[in-house]
Amino acid sequence: MGVRWRTDFDKFVVKSSFERRGWERWAPDCEEDWDIYWANITTVKQIFSPETAVRLEPYQIINHFPNHYEITRKDLMVKNVKRYLKQVRKDGGDLDALDFVPTTFILPQDYSLFVEEFRKASSTWIMKPTSKAQGKGIFLINKLSQVKKWAAGQWPSAVRPQMENYVVSKYIDDPLLVGGKKFDLRVYVVVLSYRPLKAYMSREGFARFCNIKYTRELGEMDNQFVHLTNVAIQKHGDEYNARHGNKWPLSNLRLYLEAIRGVEATNTLFQGIKSVVINSLKACQNVMINDRHCFELYGYDIIIDQALKPWLIEVNASPSLSATTKSDRLMKCKVIHDTLQLVTTLDRNSMSASASAEPSPRPQSASAAGPASGRRTESKLEPAAERSPQTVGSLELLYDETAELEQWRARRDALLASESQKRSRRRTMIDSHATRPGSAF
């Protein structure tokens, strides 16, 4: 029996990545269930909903965690980061490493706090709806009157509970520029487990550029082609270059920065980006439902300021898999291919240690997971969360909490052993002194 895959996406990047492996696509009339499902977030919500009551078998793998939105919804990510910051401060940890999200408030609930911060100094802020993507609903403000006027229309008192939340963040108005243009980064991260936390980062990725040169002029505040890097927006501009899609591979950007800013500064920047990703995952670790059937490919959006400091803008649960250019298609195919290579290992004997593991505690719904007549208990895929290769294609191990804990224990044991040896030597010296002729003891 071969591996059966299923997807909700009609994207070349996804389908070709599965087909190249020789796996069989699942269909409703299949006698067996799917082994791996590349689903959209709506399907995942249905599968993990108590009302739907789907029971996943030990061998089944799906590409989202049940409450992935704890890190991918802008307002929830901010809440979790702030909560994590408080805990680290309480524990006496390094707060400098946690300064990676611009000052942000959730509206309408934090409106008073926002106004207080807004009045401290003249600055530009950016407003974003919490659940939209591709630059929809985003705009810049620099006057409190703009917020008040907007809020009056956005949250009439009679319907306020039903209106969508927004986040308002201090705008990074000193972005690093290339050719005078603003850009941000799309970084791909694969999480295999949240407890223990295990994540990989891809060397693939890209920088997205605006069409028009950056300016702080007030007359250009509403010009999205100056301020918003989203391809969904920039592709409608007259200056858009369809040949390269206003993108650079991350490798090209790194070479450019090494030439302009130096190798050491560039290495520090990319280490900082890794730190941003790790701390953002840790911030959501305790609230994330860690289902062993799940993995997740996140698209991190990061902007760099003139001081080469990385700032986390947002995390995407479903990073776009549409290819705008040939190089874009090749890059995204590589990311998906390496992700599949990481999260699954084909067992030629159709045997796996996970076969005896307990299934997800949900009653089965054949309509969601496949026909009940085709159920089996053996596994042809080994959950990758049980392994920790350093690299898989373009993916590099970013963080392994289990390994870190083992290293910490080794350092602790070495320290305790050293202290024990010191105490032993002191006792030997005391005993030696006590047995000398004329000793006072």
List, as one string, the DSSP characters of 265-302: HHHHHHHHHHHHHHHHHHHHHTTS---TTB-EEEEEEE
Give the integer Cα–Cα distance in Å for 160 and 216.
34
Written as six digits, the tokens of 202 are 């891809």
Other C-beta atoms within 10 Å of 189: how many? 24
Sign of the Cα torsion 231, 237, 243, 248 reads: negative
Other C-beta atoms within 10 Å of 426: how many? 10
My answer on whether omega of the bond before 196 falls inside 30° of 0, hence cis, is: yes
Helix (H, G, I), strand (E, B) or coil at 36: strand
| Total-model pTM | 0.83
- Tens-digit pLDDT string for the chain (441 aa): 578 999 999 888 999 999 999 999 998 887 778 999 999 999 999 999 988 868 889 889 999 999 999 999 999 999 999 999 999 988 887 787 789 999 999 998 899 999 999 998 888 999 998 877 777 788 899 998 888 887 776 654 444 444 678 999 999 999 999 999 999 999 999 999 999 999 999 999 999 999 999 999 988 888 888 998 887 888 787 777 777 778 999 999 999 999 999 999 999 999 999 999 999 999 999 999 999 999 999 999 999 999 999 999 999 999 988 888 889 999 999 999 999 999 986 332 332 333 333 334 443 433 344 433 445 555 566 555 556 789 999 999 999 998 766 655 555 556 666 666 767 777 777 767 666 665 554
Largest CA distance in the chain: 98
State the amino acid at position 10 in one-letter form: D
What does the angle CA 273 – CA 312 – CA 99 come to, to the nearest 5 degrees?
80
First to last CA, the chain: 82
